[in-house]
C-alpha cells in the first residue's frame, strides 16, 4: 500500500520538536531563571530576556493578611515594615528541623520539620521556596510561550540529602519537573564552556554576600567530577562592607558605640554602595581615577581602591588560605589548575581577582556576569537533558555531571564506633558495600544505624536513619554475612540496604529528609574531626579492644554452657578466674574513657587479660573441635564425608 499524503512537503512537524527547558539558580538572596534561545544561554528578566538587572528575583516571600502572597522586590520592600510575615534567605532553612534553628518565636514544627509562622498559618521552607519557584516558572513560560518540560535546579555542593530532597520537593510543589539537581560550581564551569575542552582541572571560586565556596572540578572526556570542596560560611561581601565601616569610623574619629541600630545600618549600606561603586566601572574607566566619598554624620572619608585593597587584605587572604587547603585536600598544587571560574557578586572586586590570579599564576575567567553564570550553566545542562542538542553535532549529548558528598557516610558498629562506608568527597553516583557479621550466638536481628560525619565515635556523628534487619536465622556468632550497601544517586540521595547473604533476607531504607545540616555545621564537623583526630583514634583503639574482649567473654561463656563436661574442675576454675578478671576490666572500662591518660595503660591491661583467657581456653577449644568432628562423623557413611 502506498503512503497516504496528509501534509504538503515541508509542512510536517520537525522530527525533533524543540522542548522548553530552563535552568534555575535558587539562591539565598536572589534567584534566577535562564534558558537557551537560538543556541545562546540567557537569563529571563521580568520584562523579557535582556541584560538589565531585572533578571534577579529577590528570594523574599511575603504572606499578607488577605491571603495574598508576594514574591521578590515588592516583598522585600514590604518586609521593612512587616518583618514577621516576610521570609528572607529561606534557602538557609531548607531541610532543617526545629532543633536546628535558634529558638525563635517565629518558628514552629518539630524534630522532623521546621515551620515558620505567618499571617497565613505555619509554612515550611519547602512551601516558601515553592513560591519563589512558581514565579520563575511563570516568568519562563510567559517568555517562552509554552509549558516547561523541565528544569535543572542548582544547589550548593555542600547540600546534604535532606537539603537536596527539600529542593526537589519545592520544585514539585511549584509544578516543575526536575530534570536534575546540579551543583552550583559545576553549572558555572558549564557556563564557561569548560566542558568543551578535552580535559582539565578547574577551580570555581564563589564569593557571595555572606558565604565563600571553592570547588575543584576535574574534566575528563566531557565528564565533570568534583574532586574537592571547601569554604567558609561566614565570609563574604558583607565582611568587606564592615571593613569600610571600621575604616570610616577610625578616620572620622566618630564613636560607633553611640550609633543607633538604624544609623549602623545606614552607614553599612553606604559602605556597601561605595564598595560596589569602586568596582562598577568598565575596564576603560580605570577605577583608580574614581573619587568615592562616604558622607555620614557630617563627616566624609575618601575611599580608593588602593585603600580598600589594604584594609581588606586579611579577608582576601582568608579566602586564599581556604583555597590552598582545598587544593591540598585534592592533592593538587596551584599550577596544576588549568582554569579558574569566578562566581558571585563579590568577585567583581579587583583585589580579589588579583589575589586569585597571584595564587594560581593565571588570570581567572571573569567575562561572564558573576551573578548569572550558575543559572546560565544550569540552562545549558537542561537543554542537553531534554534532548534539544541531539541534532547539534558540536554538542556533547551525554554530558554527565559528577558531584561529591560533603561528609562521610557509614554505619554504627559494636562499641559505639562508626565504620565509614563512603568516604567524604567521593564522587556521586556511587555504591559501596561492606560485610558485617553477628556478635552473639543465635542473634536474629541487627540494627543498622546510618550516620554521617568524620569523627570516630557515633556520639560525635550525625544520625541519618535507623532500621532493623530481622529474621536472621540463628547462627553462631560470626557466621552470618550481612552485606550493607550504600548507594548515593546522581542527585545525592542516599539509600541503604542490608542483606544476609546465606539466608537472603533483606531490609532497606531511603534516607528521607528528617533534619538538615547547615554549611556551618558541616564546616564545624570537619574542623572538629581534625582537632580531635588523635584523641578519637585513641578512644577508637580502646573501644575496639573492649569489643574484642566482650566477644571473647561471650564465646567463652557460651562454650562453657554447652561443653563444660569436657573440662576438669581445675580447668574450669582457671578459665572462670581469667574470665572474671577480663569481665571486671571491661565493667570498669565505661568510666575510664573520660580520663584520657588512663586509656593507654588500661588498653594494655585488657590486651593482657585477653591473651591470658585465650591461652587458658586454647585446650578447651581444641577439645570442642575434636568433639564436633566426632559428632559429625558419627552415624555417617565414611565415604560421604
Ligand atoms: P549570594 O550568592 O550570597 O546571594 P551574590 O553572589 O549575589 O551573593 O553577591 C552579593 C555580594 O556581591 C554583596 O556583598 C555585594 O555587595 C557584592 N557586589 C555586588 N556588586 C558588586 C560590585 N560591583 N563590586 C563589589 N561587590 C559587589
Ligand atoms: Mg551565590
128-137, 490-499, 522-531, 592-601: range with highest mean pLDDT: 128-137
Ligand nearest to the CA of 91: 1
Report which DSSP code applies to 66: T
Cβ–Cβ < 8 Å for 455, 418: yes
Beta bridge partners of 343: 206
CA distance 573 to 559: 14
Check pLDDT > 60 for residue 12.
Answer: no
Residue 221 is placed in which grid cell? 572526556
Greater confidence (6 vs 139) lies with 139
Pairing of strands 339-343, 199-207: parallel
172 labelled catalytic: no
206 labelled catalytic: yes
| Dihedral pair phi/psi, residue 633, rounded to 5° | -75, -30
Q: Which residues line ligand 1 (CB under 6 A)?
A: 27-30, 208-211, 236-238, 272, 275-276, 279-280, 344-346, 348-349, 371
- Min mean pLDDT across 147-156, 295-304, 460-469 is at 460-469
Q: What is the reported pLDDT for 377?
A: 95
The torsion region of residue 510 among left (phi > 0), alpha (psi -120 to 50) and beta comes to beta
- Give the residue, out of 346, 368, 370, 519, with the most ligand 1 atoms within 8 A of its beta carbon, to mutate for a pocket test: 346
Residue 169 is placed in which grid cell? 520537593
CA atoms within 13 A on the CB side of 483: 12
The distance between the two most distant Cα atoms of the chain, rounded to a whole number of Å, is 109
Band (pLDDT 50/70/90 cuts) for residue 289 is low
**pLDDT one-digit tens code per residue, 354-374:** 999 999 999 999 999 999 999
Residue 35 is placed in which grid cell? 534558558
Sequence-distant (6+) residues with CB within 8 A of 589 are 542, 546, 602, 606
Greater confidence (529 vs 380) lies with 380
Q: Which atom of ligand 1 is nearest to the CA of 211?
A: 3
456 three-state secondary structure: coil
Q: What is the reported pLDDT for 598?
A: 74
Question: Which three-class secondary structure string do you get for 367-399?
Answer: CCCCCCHHHHHHHHHHHHHCCCCCCCCCCCCCC
CA distance 533 to 577: 37
Q: What is the reported pLDDT for 520?
A: 65
Please name the residue whose Cα sits nearest to atom 22 of ligand 1: 276
Q: Which atom of ligand 1 is nearest to the CA of 210?
A: 3
291-305, 448-462, 505-519: range with highest mean pLDDT: 291-305
Check pLDDT > 60 for residue 518.
Answer: no
Band (pLDDT 50/70/90 cuts) for residue 351 is very high
Ligand nearest to the CA of 154: 2
Check pLDDT > 50 for residue 14.
Answer: no
- Centroid of ligand 1 to alpha carbon of 283 (angstroms): 18
Residue 358 is placed in which grid cell? 597571584
- Centroid of ligand 2 to alpha carbon of 156 (angstroms): 9
* DSSP assignment of 529-558: HHHTHHHHHHHHHHHHHHHHHHHHHHHHHH
CA distance 204 to 187: 10
Q: What is the reported pLDDT for 281?
A: 61
Buried (b) or exposed (e) across 603-617, using 16+ Cβ within 10 A? Answer: beebeebbebbeebb
Ligand nearest to the CA of 308: 1
Q: Which atom of ligand 1 is nearest to the CA of 237?
A: 14
403 labelled catalytic: no
Check pLDDT > 70 for residue 543.
Answer: yes
Q: What is the reported pLDDT for 153?
A: 97
Residue 32 is placed in which grid cell? 534566577
- Catalytic hit among 160, 161, 169, 206: 206
Q: What is the mean pLDDT of the chain?
A: 84
Q: Which atom of ligand 1 is nearest to the CA of 278?
A: 24
Greater confidence (50 vs 181) lies with 181
- Centroid of ligand 1 to alpha carbon of 190 (angstroms): 21
- Centroid of ligand 1 to alpha carbon of 455 (angstroms): 35
Q: Residue holding cell 534558558?
A: 35
- Min mean pLDDT across 31-45, 270-284, 365-379, 508-522 is at 508-522
Q: Which atom of ligand 1 is nearest to the CA of 206?
A: 6
- Centroid of ligand 1 to alpha carbon of 188 (angstroms): 16
Greater confidence (512 vs 309) lies with 309
Pairing of strands 86-88, 60-63: antiparallel
Greater confidence (178 vs 162) lies with 178
Check pLDDT > 80 for residue 314.
Answer: yes
CA atoms within 13 A on the CB side of 260: 3
Please name the residue whose Cα sits nearest to atom 12 of ligand 1: 345
Greater confidence (303 vs 509) lies with 303
Please name the residue whose Cα sits nearest to atom 13 of ligand 1: 209
CA distance 430 to 490: 8
- Centroid of ligand 2 to alpha carbon of 155 (angstroms): 10
- Give the residue, out of 31, 237, 369, with the most ligand 1 atoms within 8 A of its beta carbon, to mutate for a pocket test: 237
CA distances from 343 to 212, 271, 340 (A): 10, 22, 10
Q: What is the reported pLDDT for 634?
A: 64
Q: What is the reported pLDDT for 398?
A: 45
Check pLDDT > 60 for residue 586.
Answer: yes
- Centroid of ligand 1 to alpha carbon of 345 (angstroms): 3
Please name the residue whose Cα sits nearest to atom 18 of ligand 1: 345
Q: Which atom of ligand 1 is nearest to the CA of 207?
A: 6
- Catalytic hit among 131, 161, 184, 519: 184
- Give the residue, out of 89, 188, 209, with the most ligand 1 atoms within 8 A of its beta carbon, to mutate for a pocket test: 209
Please name the residue whose Cα sits nearest to atom 25 of ligand 1: 276
CA distances from 632 to 618, 620, 628 (A): 21, 18, 6
Please name the residue whose Cα sits nearest to atom 24 of ligand 1: 276
Check pLDDT > 50 for residue 1.
Answer: no
Q: What is the reported pLDDT for 555?
A: 87
**pLDDT one-digit tens code per residue, 384-422:** 888 777 544 444 444 444 566 778 899 998 888 888 998
* Section 231-241 average pLDDT: 90
234 labelled catalytic: no
CA distance 448 to 164: 23
- Centroid of ligand 2 to alpha carbon of 68 (angstroms): 28
Check pLDDT > 90 for residue 47.
Answer: no
Amino acid at each position: 500500500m502506498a503512503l497516504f499524503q496528509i501534509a504538503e512537503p515541508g509542512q510536517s512537524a520537525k522530527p525533533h520538536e524543540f522542548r522548553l527547558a530552563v535552568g534555575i539558580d535558587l539562591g539565598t538572596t536572589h534567584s534566577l531563571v535562564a534558558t537557551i534561545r537560538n543556541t545562546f544561554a540567557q537569563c529571563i528578566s521580568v520584562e523579557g530576556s535582556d541584560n538589565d538587572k531585572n533578571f534577579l528575583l529577590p528570594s523574599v516571600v511575603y504572606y499578607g493578611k488577605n491571603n495574598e502572597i508576594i514574591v521578590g522586590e515588592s516583598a522585600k520592600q514590604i518586609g521593612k515594615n512587616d518583618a514577621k510575615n516576610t521570609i528572607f534567605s529561606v534557602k538557609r532553612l531548607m531541610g532543617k528541623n526545629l532543633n536546628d534553628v535558634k529558638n525563635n518565636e517565629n518558628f514552629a514544627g518539630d524534630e522532623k520539620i521546621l515551620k515558620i509562622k505567618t499571617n497565613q498559618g505555619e509554612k515550611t521552607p519547602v512551601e516558601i521556596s515553592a513560591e519563589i519557584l512558581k514565579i520563575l516558572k511563570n516568568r519562563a513560560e510567559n517568555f517562552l510561550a509554552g509549558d516547561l518540560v523541565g528544569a535543572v535546579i542548582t544547589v550548593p555542593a555542600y547540600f546534604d540529602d535532606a537539603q537536596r530532597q527539600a529542593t526537589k520537593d519545592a520544585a514539585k510543589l511549584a509544578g516543575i519537573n526536575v530534570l536534575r539537581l546540579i551543583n552550583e560550581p559545576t553549572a558555572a564551569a558549564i557556563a564557561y564552556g569548560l566542558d568543551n575542552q578535552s580535559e582539565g582541572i578547574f577551580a570555581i571560586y564563589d564569593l557571595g554576600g555572606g558565604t565563600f565556596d571553592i570547588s575543584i572540578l576535574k574534566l575528563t572526556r566531557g565528564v565533570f567530577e568534583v574532586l574537592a570542596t571547601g569554604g567558609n560560611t561566614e565570609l563574604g561581601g558583607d565582611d568587606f562592607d564592615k571593613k569600610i565601616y571600621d575604616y570610616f569610623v577610625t578616620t572620622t574619629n566618630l564613636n560607633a558605640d553611640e550609633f543607633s541600630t538604624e544609623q549602623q545600618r545606614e552607614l553599612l549600606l553606604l559602605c556597601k554602595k561605595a564598595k560596589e561603586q569602586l568596582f562598577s566601572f568598565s575596564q576603560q574607566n580605570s577605577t583608580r581615577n574614581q573619587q568615592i566619598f562616604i558622607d555620614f554624620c557630617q563627616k566624609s572619608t575618601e575611599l580608593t581602591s588602593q585603600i580598600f585593597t589594604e584594609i581588606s587584605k586579611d579577608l582576601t587572604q582568608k579566602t586564599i588560605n581556604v583555597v590552598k587547603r582545598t587544593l591540598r585536600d585534592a592533592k593538587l598544587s596551584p599550577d596544576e589548575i588549568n582554569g579558574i571560574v569566578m562566581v558571585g557578586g563579590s568577585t567583581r572586586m579587583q583585589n580579589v581577582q588579583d589575589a586569585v590570579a597571584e595564587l594560581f599564576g593565571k588570570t581567572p575567567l571573569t567575562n561572564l556576569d558573576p551573578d548569572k553564570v550558575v543559572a546560565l550553566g544550569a540552562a545549558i545542562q537542561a537543554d542537553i537533558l531534554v534532548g534539544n542538542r541531539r541534532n547539534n553535532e558540536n554538542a556533547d549529548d551525554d554530558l554527565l555531571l559528577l558531584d561529591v558528598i560533603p561528609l562521610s557516610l557509614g554505619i554504627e558498629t559494636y562499641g559505639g564506633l562508626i565504620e565509614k562506608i563512603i568516604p567524604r568527597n567521593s564522587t556521586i553516583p556511587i555504591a559501596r558495600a561492606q560485610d558485617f557479621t553477628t556478635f552473639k550466638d543465635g542473634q536474629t536481628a541487627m540494627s543498622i544505624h546510618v550516620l554521617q560525619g568524620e569523627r570516630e565515635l557515633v556520639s560525635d556523628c550525625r544520625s541519618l536513619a535507623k532500621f532493623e534487619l530481622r529474621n536472621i536465622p540463628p547462627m553462631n556468632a560470626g557466621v552470618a554475612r550481612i552485606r550493607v550497601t550504600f548507594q548515593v544517586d546522581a542527585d545525592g540521595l542516599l539509600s541503604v540496604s542490608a542483606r544476609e547473604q546465606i539466608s537472603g533476607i533483606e531490609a532497606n531504607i531511603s534516607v528521607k529528609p528528617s533534619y538538615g545540616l547547615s554549611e556551618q555545621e558541616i564546616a564545624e564537623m570537619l574542623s572538629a574531626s581534625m582537632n580531635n583526630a588523635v584523641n578519637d583514634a585513641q578512644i577508637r583503639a580502646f573501644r575496639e579492644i573492649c569489643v574484642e574482649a566482650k566477644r571473647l567473654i561471650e564465646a567463652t561463656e557460651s562454650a562453657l554452657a554447652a561443653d563444660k563436661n569436657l573440662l576438669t574442675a581445675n580447668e574450669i576454675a582457671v578459665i572462670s578466674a581469667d574470665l572474671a578478671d577480663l569481665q571486671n576490666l571491661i565493667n570498669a572500662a565505661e568510666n575510664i574513657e573520660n580520663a584520657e591518660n588512663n586509656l593507654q595503660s588500661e588498653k594494655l591491661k585488657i590486651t593482657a587479660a585477653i591473651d591470658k583467657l585465650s591461652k587458658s581456653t586454647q585446650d578447651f577449644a581444641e577439645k570442642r573441635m575434636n568433639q564436633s568432628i566426632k559428632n559429625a562423623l558419627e552415624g555417617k557413611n565414611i565415604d560421604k564425608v
